[in-house]
Amino acid sequence: MTWHFTPLMTFRRRPSPPLFRATGSALLAIALLAGPAQGQAAIDPNIGIRAAALEREGERPMAIDMLGQYLATAPDDGSAWLQLGRFYLADERDWHLAGHRGDPDGVLYLDFATTAFEQSIRLSVDSGMVFRGYAEVERGVILLESSGWNAALVSRGHDTPPIPPYILELGANLLSSCPSGGVLLTGTDLESLSAWYGTLESPSIDVLLVRPDRYATDSLYRLRVAEAMGVDPALPVQRALAAVAGRRRLCLSPGADSAAAPALAWMPYRLVRVSGPPGPTTGALTVSELIKASRGNESPWVDDVRRVYDRAAAHNLLLCSSLLLLYGDTPPAACAP
């Protein structure tokens, strides 16, 4: 079964008692130890629906507990593993929003999420590899918050799990669209994933990655990123970006929220909009991996990556001709004759 999710949402919920959280973690361990076994329970196609309904009602701990009990008897349900990993990833993001307080901490939530995603990958769930990458990006954020941008650049990248080549290609294209020394503002999890992995593939590229929404809501993230940009962390995101724009080019990714951007003369360049003349960039745009993946690949992630290019073309009509092989007979609305 192929599972695909829109970018991860964070839900408000009631704090859970430590015993309840420990129960969910213990059930995860039981499920992992169970492994394939004779006489295990049949896969329940509705378990994910019920778990999602509980989360929508603010009962994510109960949903985790239910999935843990289920996976202890049906450990070959890759979709349930993916769902469980997503819940732990959401817990980790809530931990950031709560001021980095609580037990367990963000690192342990990521350990649980990583384990669940790796089980989904083992069971050939399409989205498992991408969400495993999301967990790795979150681990990079924790490293950034603890050690700063430069230390995080030096430390990360060891034994990094793979992601699909066409997502890596997107990251290289986003980074090559932003001038050297620039600040790339990403707006979606997929853009952030691709650009973060792109910095691992090409560590010499001097581009600072920033999520404006995270800057506005996570005090420690804001402190470290403001430090890297050389601005006062007390400034709200729009004023902070305006302060750095005189020294570094700002680049808006196709999915970035323009409301967070200062009022500047934005110019379209490749996949991004740049605050002023683009200046020198490295590398050339290529969509060969995405074209290859589009041929017979039913993964919805291919469509999601394609939509990033579509949004870019809405700001830069020059892309309509340069991406002709990708668009074929189905150009985005901005490129339609």
pLDDT of the chain along its 337 residues, tens only?
444 444 443 333 334 434 345 455 555 654 554 555 555 778 899 999 999 999 999 999 999 999 999 999 999 999 999 999 999 999 999 999 999 988 889 999 999 999 999 999 999 999 999 999 999 999 999 999 998 887 777 665 557 899 999 999 999 999 999 999 999 999 999 999 999 999 887 777 889 999 999 999 999 999 999 999 999 999 999 999 999 999 999 999 999 988 889 999 999 999 999 998 887 777 788 999 999 998 877 899 999 999 999 999 999 998 988 887 787 778 888 888 7
Distance (Å) of CA 243 to CA 183, 202, 263, 294: 12, 28, 12, 41
- Check residue 27 and give its pLDDT: 54
Residue in the structure block whose two tokens are 């709560």: 98
- Check residue 13 and give its pLDDT: 38
Task: Quote the tokens at residue 236.
Answer: 């709200």
- Check residue 31 and give its pLDDT: 58
Nearest to 103 by CA among 23, 214, 13, 16: 16
Residues pairing with 275 in the sheet: 266
Question: Looking at 158-277, which runs of residues are DSSP E strands?
Answer: 183-185, 208-210, 250-252, 266-269, 272-275
Model pTM above 0.75? yes
SS3 label, residue 16: coil
Q: How far apart are CA 299 and CA 316, in angstroms?
A: 27
Helix axes 165-177, 300-315, angle to 10 degrees: 20
SS3 label, residue 188: coil
